[in-house]
Amino acid sequence: MADVADATDAYEEKRARLRARFIDDAPPAPQPVATGGVDHLALICSDLEATIAFYTDVLKMRLTKVIPNRDEPTSTHIFLDMGGGNLLAFFDFPKHGPDRTVRGVGSMHHIALKASSEKYREIVQGLKDSGREHSVHGGEDKGSVYMRDPDNIIVEVTTGYD
């Protein structure tokens, strides 16, 4: 048990060093960021129809575009409006088969989307009504709800942004 506590302390010490080195408590200088925010996140899916159904039915996103992938003619690139002027895109790669990637350095852990309290409650209720597996952290009105899409990608919807 002491080994776990020692390891936890070591990780917290590392986090404290990172905060001290890279987070400045001074108000930010009016220096513009070089980019204008997210245009789209591009992920890979195994089944475009199942992916579209999940994101449009469960999260109420809207499919906005279906085009060929410029780099692979058998691949299709879809775009979903995830709000805030941002898009969530998916590719399929039918010639590569259904092999999954292994999570590791350079891979994505999860998608975190923000929602108003009202929309958050609607999503949580929809998950309950559909019997879709999910977990709520926080409460019914404020917090985060986690679920998995058809390809097992973790999707978080969080609120507290009203």
Q: Give CATH superfamily name and number for 37-94.
A: 2,3-Dihydroxybiphenyl 1,2-Dioxygenase, domain 1 (3.10.180.10)
CATH number for the region 109-162 comes to 3.10.180.10
Instruction: Give yes or no for a contact between 78 and 48, defined as CB atoms under 8 angstroms apart.
Output: yes
Higher pLDDT, 1 or 43: 43
Tell me the pLDDT tens digit for each residue of 89-136.
999 988 877 777 666 777 788 999 999 999 999 999 999 999 999 999
Centroid of chain to Cα 96 = 24
- Of the chain, the end-to-end C-alpha distance in Å amounts to 42
Question: What are the residue ranges spanned by the domains of the chain?
Answer: 37-94, 109-162
Higher pLDDT, 34 or 29: 34
* Predicted model pTM: 0.79
E strand or H helix that includes residue 41: strand 40-44
CA distance 68 to 77: 6
CA distance 118 to 25: 33
